[in-house]
Amino acid sequence: MERLANTLLEEVYKRTFLRLLIFWIFGTLLQVFFPVHVYAFALIAVVALTVLFSAFSDKRNRYHPVYSARWVWGLLFAFMVIFLSIQITEQAINYVHDIRNTPFLIRLARQIQSSMVEKIGLMDIPDAHKSVLASLSVNYKATMDWATRSQFSVAGVAHVLAVSGFHVAVVYWCIRKALFFLPEKIVFWKALKYCIIILYVWGYALISGLGSPSVRAALMITVFLIGKILRRSPDKYNSLFAAAFIMLVYNPLDILSISFQLSFTAVFFIMYLQPKLEDLISVKNPLISVPWDIITCSIAAQTGVMFLCCYYFGYISTLFIFANLFVCFMAEILIPCTLLWLLLPLSTPYLSDILQYIIATTTRWMMWIVDGFSSIPGAAFKIRIDIFTLLASYLWLALTLLWLRFQRYSMLMWSLITLLIIIVWHIVMQ
């Protein structure tokens, strides 16, 4: 058990932004549920007393401050981050309902998003298809009816209706392929290429309304490409935690957002579980490897978000693996084609008409597939859980994954005990 604890502490120690994120989230939740901003200044007093105590704690050199103890600086760091988190969260709560305080970039993003939606409205396709295109390409969901949302959710492909890491990754791949003529072996052209990609990725995040998932993906790609320019290999988990920390510093209340929780949870589990699932079967044939990647990615993401889905939506899709094979492929066609059509003038001869035909046909097939999967009996089963079951379920999942990684039977025992508590609690609450 001691070895396991040391290993986990080493993982936390290697990732600076994880420690920052933990302290920041703690301060935010403390302020949201137990408003303590008035008393938060006591943390500064504690920090001052701690520093003074450490300054004169060395009897051999009592007249010179000594700050060599790591726990002193760790305590100072933690208290300062929590204090800042509490104060910024209080400001966010005070201004959240005042539309005049909407940041300029958000207003600009919404204006651009609205102009894109207006252009989609000019397409000669059914209104339901227009709403799906608006949601899939620029993250605009206001025109989508409940029936369409329900179909995508039951089929387990609702993630394509919100611009997220999947969409940004498609844009990133397309832009990178379009800039093939810039050689990556020469440092200058490599830096120029990556800077152009970063600009386009953030441009896409802007026209999609600067939603939490798209901003998270843009931040992670930015950190990754800057690391490439500087010839460094940033830790993928640290990049994820850095993106979350930056977003929560900007708006601490994002931690209560469903899209924020689903987005970061899904990406974390994709990062952790997908490589392990891919190792189960060695696939070298490219015709099989692509569907296998989609399957493993879907399983990893669904494993991470299934308890959140039960808590917020009350059901889980059982056909998500099969539906994602078709819908993700079609989304990879629709995203670049729709964005290219939106950027082209309507008067562009031939190309605009060809793109509109591809978009209309692909959207029609996607809707047909989603409708088919959502109509299958048992496509989703209803299960509603409370907050205690939600937290206990993620504790059980964490213990199970730790047991699978370290093969410690103490982890298996605690995992089974947690599962038993969940079952008993569910029976009692019923």
Query: pTM here?
Result: 0.85
Can you give the pLDDT at residue 318? 84
The mean pLDDT value for 392-406 works out to 91
Instruction: Decide if pLDDT at 2 tops 80.
Output: no
Look at residue 265 and tell me whether its pLDDT is greater than 50.
Answer: yes
- How large is the average pLDDT for residues 159-187? 88
Task: Kindly list the distances between the CA atom of residue 212 and the CA atoms of 184, 217, 225, in Å, as whole numbers in the listed order.
Answer: 31, 9, 20
Contact status, residue 425 vs residue 416, Cβ threshold 8 Å:
no
Please state the φ and ψ torsions of residue 284, each to the nearest 5 degrees. -110, -20
The whole-angstrom distance between residue 324's C-alpha and the CA centroid of its chain comes to 18
Give percent above pLDDT 90 in the chain. Answer: 30
pLDDT at 231: 75
- Give the confidence band of 43 by pLDDT, cuts at 50, 70, 90: low
Beta strands in 180-220 (DSSP E): none
Query: Over the range 173-192, which residues count as b (16 or more CB within 10 Å of their CB) and which as e?
Result: ebbbeebeebeeeeeeebbe
pLDDT tops 60 at residue 230: yes
pLDDT interval class at 66 (50, 70, 90): very low
Alpha carbons 153 and 360: distance in angstroms, whole number: 22
More confident residue, 65 or 351: 351
Q: What is the pLDDT of residue 393?
A: 94
Neighbours of 210 (CB within 10 A): 21
**For residue 58, is pLDDT > 60?**
no
Q: What is the per-residue burial (b if ≥16 Cβ within 10 Å, else e) of 380-390?
A: beebebeeebe
Does pLDDT of 183 surpass 90? Answer: no
Separation between Cα atoms, residue 419 and residue 397, nearest integer Å: 9
In a 10 Å sphere around its CB, with 0-12 CB exposed, 13-18 middle and 19+ buried, how is residue 3 labelled? exposed
C-alpha span between 81 and 249 (Å, rounded): 10
SS3 382: strand
What is the number of alpha carbons within 13 Å of residue 332 lying toward its C-beta? 14
Average pLDDT over residues 320-346: 89
Mean pLDDT for all residues in the chain = 84
CB 297 within 8 A of CB 266: no
Between 19-23, 103-107, 188-192, 364-368, the lowest mean confidence (pLDDT) is in 103-107
pLDDT digits (tens, 9 = 90+) for 285-306: 777 887 888 889 889 999 999 9
- The DSSP element (H or E) to which 99 belongs, if any, is none
- Compute the distance between CA of residue 194 and CA of residue 201 in angstroms, rounded to an integer: 10
| Confidence at residue 334, expressed as pLDDT on a 0 to 100 scale | 93
**Residue 76 reports pLDDT greater than 80:** no
For residue 19, pLDDT over 70 is answered with: yes
State residue 63's pLDDT score. Answer: 46
What is the pLDDT at residue 54?
A: 61
pLDDT digits (tens, 9 = 90+) for 269-287: 999 999 998 888 877 777 7
Handedness of CA 303, 304, 309, 310 (dihedral sign): positive
> What tens digit of pLDDT does each residue of 127-160 get?
889 999 999 999 998 888 888 888 898 888 888 8
| Between residues 386 and 408, the one the model is more confident about | 386
pLDDT at 335: 93
| % pLDDT > 70, the chain | 88
pLDDT of residue 14: 77
The model's confidence at residue 102, banded by pLDDT at 50, 70 and 90, is low
Q: Is-contact 150 374, C-beta < 8 A?
A: yes
Q: Which of 425, 397, 394 is nearest to 411 (CA)?
A: 397
pLDDT at 421 over 90: yes
| Three-state secondary structure call for residue 328 | helix
Q: Which structure tokens are listed for 110?
A: 């919404």
**What does the pLDDT read at residue 290?**
79
When pLDDT is averaged across residues 150-179 and rounded to a whole number, the result is: 89
